[in-house]
Amino acid sequence: MIRAAEATVLDAIGATPLFGVRRITGPGDAELLLKWERTNPGGSVKDRPARHIVDVAERLGRLRPGGTIIESSSGNFGISLAMIGAARGYRVIILIDPKTTPANRRVLEAFGADIITVTEQDDTGSYHKTRIALANDLARRIPGSFRPDQCFSLLNSHAHYLRTGAELLAGCEGRLDALVGAVSTGGQLGGLSRYLRRHSPVTRIVGADATGSTVFGGTSRAYLVPGVGLGWTPANLDLDLIDAAYQVSSADTFYACRALARSEGVLAGASSGAVLLAGLREAERLGPGARVVCLLADGGDRYLDTVYDDGWLAAHDIVLDEVNVAGLRRRAGRLHPIGEERPLTPTVVAGLEQRLRVPSSTHQLNDLVQRDWAAETLAETS
């Protein structure tokens, strides 16, 4: 336990609440719990990997006083880094894109981060690849810079493997039948799946993705939901550890966010809508006696001008019918896990790391993580 006078804002990361929702579930459903990452000081689940990566980089001398943190982020990871940079005295440069909400942009500014908006789309209609390539170019040009590299650094999932997994399982008193989480860089789901396979092998690991993302295979299409999805299968995610995945449309995702706010008093961020629908579907399939946990990555306050704004939805050709529990359950009931219709297949983009010029520091830190995982496996089998 750290004494208050010695603690910093970063010591408030983690120990997020876990609670049940009973107004949106039915008598034939499993128990549905939410683990809500909004109470992290940066407002999202991304505080956890951001702090872990910065801690490791400092410990290994990759990030020194006066250094600059450079990252590509649609919002949350950038906000976490901007907060950490402010708390520890680093300059922070964040590359965002037009899908980043205005509210997230203002938070980045409030923490004093330098913001670069990348407007050039990549070959999948998203901005991930153009943002990452530019971040890597900048890091090569700016002396004393460090790239946390959330998309390619295994430290991202390592953070959840080391802490979030144990915290979650302890909150459930060791009994967890299914865990549902959103996917983009694969940090959350990759780390939690690795932890739970080892410590709770009965737990079903379920991904919630955007329709149009190719994390679990398929063909890519543009989608509206910020925070979820990617045009390839991220290194942080091992599909062999994933039991099922759902792709949720933008309209259903936004509907679910609104229904959760009105029916349970939980104002959650965009990706949480997809996670909630997938969680409800799992709860319906697993039935009474089982326990499903949805990991909600952030809160809805920063989405008031988008997800929760009728004008914004209309501008994107989305008209939602009346929001209520019946509509929510109907939408959940229409979902089918991809893993049952076709195998979960990784989307591999040949030569991607070379093309984006992933920094050597990422590869060196990944070697450390892999050695750590291999040593643990060895210790368990010997």
- Provide the binding-site residues for ligand PLP, judged by CB under 6 A: 44, 46, 76-77, 182-189, 227-228, 269, 271, 297-298
Give every CB contact of residue 350 below 8 A, 6+ residues apart in sequence: none
Residue 53, H or E segment: helix 47-59
Q: Minimal distance in Å, beta carbon 299 to ligand PLP? A: 9
Min. distance of Cβ 291 from ligand PLP in angstroms?
Answer: 22
Helices (H) and strands (E) in the chain, counts: 14, 10
CB 7 to ligand PLP: min, Å: 26
Nearer of residues 31 and 76 to ligand PLP, judged by Cβ: 76
Nearer to ligand PLP, 308 or 324 (CB): 308
Shortest distance (Å) from residue 382 CB to ligand PLP: 32
Task: Tell me which H or E stretch contains 136.
Answer: helix 128-141
**What angle is formed at CA 153 by the lines to CA 201 and CA 60, rounded to 5 degrees?**
110
Residue 322: both structure tokens together: 């009346």
Tokens, residue 39: 């109470």
Name the residue nearer to ligand PLP (CB basis): 136 or 253: 253
Nearer to ligand PLP, 150 or 290 (CB): 150
How would you class 100 by CB atoms within 10 Å of its CB: exposed for 0-12, middle for 13-18, buried for 19 or more?
buried
Work out whether the CA dihedral 51, 157, 130, 211 comes out positive or negative.
negative
In terms of Cβ atoms closer than 10 Å to its own Cβ (0-12, 13-18, 19+), residue 53 is buried
**What minimum distance in Å lies between the beta carbon of 281 and ligand PLP?**
18
Tokens at 72, concatenated: 């590509």
Q: d(Cα 16, Cα 147) in Å, to the nearest integer?
A: 27
Beta carbon of residue 368, minimum distance to ligand PLP (angstroms, whole number): 20
Measured torsion, CA atoms of residues 127, 132, 137, 140, in degrees rounded to the nearest 10: 160
Q: Least Å distance between CB 378 and ligand PLP?
A: 27
Q: CB 250 → ligand PLP: shortest distance, Å?
A: 14
Are the C-beta atoms of residues 187 and 156 closer than 8 Å to each other? yes
Beta-bridged to residue 44, according to DSSP, are 298
Nearer to ligand PLP, 259 or 297 (CB): 297
